[in-house]
Structure 1
């Protein structure tokens, strides 16, 4: 049905446009509430235009209030039209739902804070916690160094997303898994496991799985890591501290496995 302009408004009522402006409710919403019988205007002009009385406006005010606190239109209608409705009970139930939503949003906010911190810091652990988990030789500045070096990469973002959900216990489990793997590498080298052998290839696959605690590792990326382990003084010292020559041996078993999968270790790139 058409709506009057403000100039056509009857002296005894407000037009849809006037009510919309006064209550901050869209004309479309007012039409819908009229159609479903929630808030019908009491008057019509001679031309059939909707007009809202003071009583209509009071009902609309209550509808707006109840809608703002989250009541659905059906429940609003029950509160307004059914005397037997337990209004305090309805409001208490709504208050409980609001409290639940607030709690969920607070948890979401805390999670976002951790995610932001993880992207900026890497490890959400104190220096003391890092030393306790990763050992006294651990450099607590290494996450910041990694952030400066790799912060714009996909892998840093993947690492940060994993780090955001980890506390000391989870990181301890990661560290223990890496320690067990390093021990297995040293034992395999001592036992004379040959690059390209089934046992060596299983170790290479295990490395990719263990490293997945940080971010997904492709075979080509693993070849690049093998190079770095052998050439970077810090990584080489770590592996050679487990067994002399272990960094070079690890690179050899990674390269042999890569060749078996059609990858040339000499041309492999970080992808």
Structure 2
């Protein structure tokens, strides 16, 4: 490689600034023989000529559209290379990548919306699915109370990917469970009995549509079902005193699994 003075070409730093690539990248391209400077100063520093810059410019362009370095080398150095064909193939790959990114963006939008709203359903859809007694303000109230909990995150992640039809299936499962609880109370099913324990387990399975429910957490919910006016009104509207009876079967099921309902915590 011929020696030259600084006036004969551009230094690595000058080329880096002009083309918007790092000095490290220029050194790497030199080392692998992809873009070697044609000149050196007497002190051994790289200098790039106008022809070198033209090659570097093409490398930058091809790299920006997604070509790998080996493919760039083939396009630049192989006189038989089908450049137009390579560009068209790359355009197809870029279009596919854009489509994937757009779908990813839409998924992220739904995830953000679900974290903020809880339910990605219109008020009309909520009423149709959950019934006329449903209050559309409840998801916002739940977020205000529980928005910083792991369970809200789990609920939001499920909600983000859930269709109205899937929500309908969940609402139907909850309604079926409510009916089964009322029928069991009418039949004087005793807390701690096999049938009562099956109902408690069924409740955990149905509730898992919202977030995973441990037995300790279920005990805490049972307390809330009895003490919270909104929940108590719901269950007692199915059968008088159903909220208290439901709590008793949850507590009895917890005891059967070695959990003391009096000391259970949300964990």
Same fold (TM over 0.5): yes
In the TM superposition, residue 190 of structure 1 has moved relative to its aligned partner by: 2.5
Aligned partner (choices 10, 16, 21) of residue 20 of structure 1: 16
Q: Aligned runs of 1:163-242 on 2, under 5 Å? A: 163-242=159-238
Q: Which among 75, 82, 86 is matched to residue 79 of structure 1? A: 75
Asked whether the 8 Å contact 1:186–1:242 carries over to 2, the reply is: yes
Q: Deviation at 1:84?
A: 1.5
Q: Deviation of residue 9 (structure 1)?
A: 4.3
1:44 pairs with 2:44: no
Structure 2 spans left out of the alignment, 5+ residues? none
Pairwise mapping of residues 140-179 of structure 1 onto structure 2 (< 5 A)? 140-179=136-175
1:125 aligns with 2:114: no
- Structure 1 residue aligned with 2:65: 69
CA distance in 1, matches of 2:12, 2:138: 65
Is residue 249 of structure 2 the alignment partner of residue 253 of structure 1? Answer: yes
2: CA distance, partners of 1:71 / 1:124: 40
- Structure 1 consecutive aligned stretches of length 4 or more whose deviation exceeds 6 Å: none
CA shift, 1:79, in A, is 1.0
Distance 1:257 1:9 in 2: 88
Q: Is the 8 A contact 1:9 1:15 kept in 2?
A: no
- Give the structure 1 partner of residue 29 of structure 2: 33
TM-score normalised by L of structure 1:
0.92
Q: Conserved in 1, the CA contact under 8 Å of 2:220 and 2:264?
A: yes
| Contact 2:129–2:171 (CA under 8 A) maintained in structure 1 | yes
Give the 3-state SS of the residue equivalent to 1:137 in structure 2.
coil
Deviation string, structure 1 residues 33-54 (Cα, Å, up to 9, x no partner): 1122111112233443322111
Checking the alignment, whether the CA contact within 8 Å between 2:5 and 2:42 is kept in structure 1 is no
Contact kept? 1:222, 1:254, Cα under 8 Å = yes
In 2, distance between residues paired with 1:111 and 1:222? Answer: 31
State how far apart, in whole Å, the 1-side matches of 2:88 and 2:262 are.
Answer: 69
SS of 1:106's equivalent in the other structure is helix
TM-score by length of 2: 0.93
Output the aligned Cα RMSD: 1.8
Cα deviation per residue 1:53-81 (whole Å; 9 max; x = unaligned)? Answer: 11011100110111111110011111111
- For residues 141 and 18 of structure 1, what CA distance do their matches in structure 2 show? 61
Which has the higher mean CA deviation after the structures are superposed, 199-208 or 42-51?
A: 42-51
SS, match of residue 44 in structure 1: strand
- Distance (Å, rounded) in 2 between the aligned partners of 1:109 and 1:115: 10
Q: Secondary structure at the match of 2:260?
A: coil
Instruction: Give the conservation status (yes or no) of the 8 Å contact 1:118–1:161.
Output: yes
